[in-house]
Structure 1
Amino acid sequence: MFIPLTTYCRDDCGYCTFKRDPGQPGARYLTPEEVLDIARAGAAQGCKEALFSLGDKPELRFPEAAAALRGLGHHTTTGYLAEMCHAVLAETGLLPHPNPGTLSRRE
């Protein structure tokens, strides 16, 4: 099942219809409660895997994304992603399948 962790993204890929810039309808991060609600619903339907979709480090381009992350207790989207992957696995048993974009070796 699909968990759209955030619609913010620093990139402008011509093919993407998912991305939203700050101020556009739907531009946001899901809250932990929303993530877990989606995961619980998927697990109840027999799903085995949680596909996390997200933009590529939007906090590097948009102050609004960085502020939203701080409100969630994080400084990076990848840090928030890691927390949500752990939470989904622990609470539902669904295997997290993250798609975070380009990562550094440390990330």
Structure 2
Amino acid sequence: MQTKNKILDDISQIMNSAMGVAQGARDEAQNALRSVVDRMLADRNLVNREEFEAVRAMVQKAREENDALHARLAALEGQLRGSAAVSADERSSGPTTPSL
């Protein structure tokens, strides 16, 4: 922006330069803070979101498989009890000796 007043042009340039420097300082401060936070998290053995979600998916799959196996085991135990009950009935209704 060109004006007839040299002083206003100089002030404008100084302000633009100051804004650029302030923006650069802000970016450097953000990067420094981000690196400090990342280092602190790494020191505490915390996981990032991607790792957490991957482990969470594995746990959910394992839980579903465990539930399916539990249901299958319960069904097999029910069949075993049913066949044991039939065997007990066969023994009790099998050939009996006449009582004297």
Q: TM-score range by the shorter chain?
A: under 0.3
Task: Between the two structures, name the one with larger relative contact order (CA 8 Å, sep ≥ 6).
Answer: 1
Pair member with larger Rg: 2
TM-score, with structure 1 as normaliser: 0.19
